[in-house]
Structure 1
Amino acid sequence: MAKTSAERVKEYRERQRQAARKALLEPVPEPGYVVTPFYAFMDGRHVDFEENLDAYGVHISGTDLGEAVQKFDTEAPWEKSFTSLERARGMMGVFLDAAKELAALINEYKLQEVGAAIDAAHEVSASLPRGDVEALKKSFAEIERLRAIQSELRKPTRHTLLSVDATGE
């Protein structure tokens, strides 16, 4: 029986996913213009992110990025060793993913709390005496303030990073 279009697309996407997984395990070749290896560039340089992460209880174990071959303890089953540049790029990706995940969790929490505060403000507003116009105005102003916070929390933010990949490398 002939395959449907949906089945062909599903198989195509699965082949793409498998190719992407395989590409992650392939070593990234050094671009032709690179003369000095990354570990030599990093040798003697001080990076602040390790102390900044340590200040919040996040510790990075392993070899300093100034070493050619990186050694670190991990639960991931890596079959190959990493160069300092491969490890730095991997760490960058992990930090970005962690920042996105934390931002989503913080945002969800704050939106939930603001939503509960808006509901509570509506209940307070509904229980006010009908003749108390000033209290009603204050209650509506509080609801509008909370809705403005909610609206601002729903907007995405952009953080610009310098490019680490270029076409033609």
Structure 2
Amino acid sequence: MAKTAAEYQRAYRERKAELAKQAGDPTDKISARPFSEYVENDGNWTVIQEVLDCVGVTPPAFGADKDDQWREEWGEPYRASIGRAERMVGAFLDAASGLADAIARYKRKEIDRAIADLEASDITAPAIKKKALAEIVRLNRIRDQLDKQVRWSLPQWKTTGEN
């Protein structure tokens, strides 16, 4: 069966993306010094180290221009410390997203439990019933807030040869 125009276009985009991935970052060819040398002297690096240390995360060291965690099966070229740093950004974003999701699920469950406790309590007196209903409304608003997504703006850290 013949491919549709959309299938040809999808295959073309996939081939193009794979070639760009294998080619690496175009800034690799113009860099005069390795990222490991640059980052240690960057004024922002001490702030990054302090922030990570505040939450008990050992800040990474970039003493040498190497990437011991790189794996050939990833299909990406070896890019030393800059490649490691870029993967770290992705890993931190994934970890932050996963942790935020776990926190939101925890808080939703606790809110649901508190609402269930209020609904199961003895609320026969009008004043107590009014307070309990107000608390349920407040807890539902908080739960609705947890269902929302937040957005953070980050500087672009990966580049390709494409415009």
> Considering the TM-score relative to the shorter chain, is it more than 0.5?
yes
Q: Distance in 2 between matches of 1:78 and 1:22?
A: 15
Deviation track 1:43-95 (CA, whole Å, cap 9, x = no partner) reads: 5224122332233222245433xx4x2244x4x64577533322221111111
The structure with the largest helix share of the pair is 2
Q: Report what 2:146 is aligned to.
A: 153
Q: Distance in 2 between matches of 1:25 and 1:118?
A: 53
Q: Report what 2:132 is aligned to.
A: 139
Aligned partner of residue 155 in structure 1, secondary structure: coil
Deviation at 1:105, TM superposition (A): 0.7
Report the AA paired with residue 91 of structure 1. Answer: M
Instruction: Trace 1:109-128 onto structure 2 (pairs within 5 A).
Output: 109-124=106-121, 127-128=122-123
Aligned partner of residue 70 in structure 1, secondary structure: coil
- Sequence identity, in percent? 27
Please tell me whether the aligned partners of residues 62 and 71 of structure 1 are also in contact (alpha carbons under 8 angstroms).
no
Deviation track 1:115-149 (CA, whole Å, cap 9, x = no partner) reads: 1111111112xx222xx211111011110110011
Q: Distance in 1 between matches of 2:106 and 2:17?
A: 33
Question: Aligned-residue CA RMSD in angstroms?
Answer: 3.4
Q: Report what 1:49 is aligned to.
A: 48
Gaps of 5+ in 2: none
Which runs of structure 1 show a deviation greater than 6 angstroms over 4 or more consecutive aligned residues? 18-23
Between Structure 1 and Structure 2, how many residues are aligned? 152
Deviation track 1:4-59 (CA, whole Å, cap 9, x = no partner) reads: x9xxx8xx89xx5x997897666434267x45445254352241223322332222
Gaps of 5+ in 1: none
Q: Distance in 1 between matches of 2:67 and 2:83?
A: 12
Q: Distance in 2 between matches of 1:70 and 1:154?
A: 41
TM norm structure 2? 0.70
